[in-house]
Amino acid sequence: MAFSKIPIFNSKKLVIFSSYDRKKKCYHKTLFAFLHQVDYIKHDVTRFMKSTTVDRDERPNRDLGVYEVMDLLDFFSEKIDQPVIFGIIHLLLTTGMRNEELCQAKVGDIEYDRDRERYYLHITGKGNKKRIVPLHDKVVESINRLRSARLVPSIEESEADMPLVVTSTGKAYSPSYLSQYFTSVMKRVRLPSLEGKTVTPHSFRHAFAILSYREGVDVYTVMRSLGHEKIETTEIYLPKEMEKDEHAALHWKKTLISKYL
């Protein structure tokens, strides 16, 4: 059984070529664990492999606050008229959708609730779990402007099985293609507030959580809206927000020191 670029190891040390990124190391670790489990290799070499865990401080800065989000929305709607990327950002930001969920969404997933006089989008998330998110009126307008720019009918005039967000050929985005398209567009954006920021479609899922938290929405409600199973997952999106708001110094009562606060 032959392997290309297989890591070199001995009983004391496992060497992974430095050109491999963390994801490839994770794949290798899974592979070696399986080979040991089926007795293809004698020793469990994964014990000598370094963890692929990324420290919080080393993670790309994807946090977008209110001003960064407004700068982007203003840029794509006022400084340059780009209804496609504006519509994608508007939809991701106001729903907290995953990249994959947006790509899978179809026109027929939109429902108009006459009692509430509002549109809702039915989303199929991870593990085939369903949830419903509201669509603000201006978001529906943005979707229709996007579709008009792509030369396809509005959601009111389209067939139910048509993709909600379409490419220039009228087809659904794949998650990888949407990320590539988004990255290529964002590389051309020059905004001081975004300097040093890594902005991806997933950034707006974080932004949804941050903006909801700042609007006073409790973390449990944010968790349900994002489709998370555990509140700990949601809290990963909010560490800086919670750290800033829960610092002990903010809870000091009015004492003599308040003269300098």
Domain spans, the chain: 8-53, 66-240
Q: Which residues of 24-56 are buried (b: 16+ CB within 10 A; e: fewer)?
A: ebeebbeebeebbeeeeeeeebbebbeeeeeee
Q: In 3D, which of 23, 224, 235, 237 has the Cα closest to residue 125?
A: 224
CA distance linking residue 156 with residue 136, whole number of Å: 16
Coil, strand, or helix at residue 173? coil
The Cα–Cα gap between 236 and 24 comes to 24
The set of residues, in sequence order, having a beta carbon less than 8 Å from that of 156 and lying 6+ positions away, is: none
DSSP strand E in the chain: where?
Answer: 8-9, 14-15, 110-113, 118-124, 130-135
C-beta atoms surrounding 60 within 10 Å: 13
Global confidence as pTM: 0.74
- 130 forms beta bridges with 124
Please write the tens of the pLDDT for every residue from 118-151.
999 999 998 889 999 999 999 999 999 999 999 9
Helical ranges in 11-74 per DSSP H: 22-37, 66-74
Strands 118-124, 130-135: pairing kind: antiparallel
CATH 1.10.443.10 given to domain 66-240: yes
Q: Dump pLDDT digits (tens) for 46-102.
A: 666 665 554 555 455 568 888 999 999 999 998 888 999 999 999 999 999 999 999
Question: What is the Cα–Cα distance from 182 to 204, expressed in whole angstroms?
Answer: 12
The whole-number average pLDDT for the span 235-255 is 79
3 state DSSP class of 15 = strand
Share of the chain above pLDDT 70, in %: 76
CA atoms of 166 and 193, how far apart (whole Å) = 29
pLDDT in tens, 199-213: 899 999 999 999 999
Contacts of 90 (CB under 8 A, 6+ apart): 73, 138, 139, 142
Task: Give the model's pLDDT for residue 195.
Answer: 84
DSSP state of 45: G
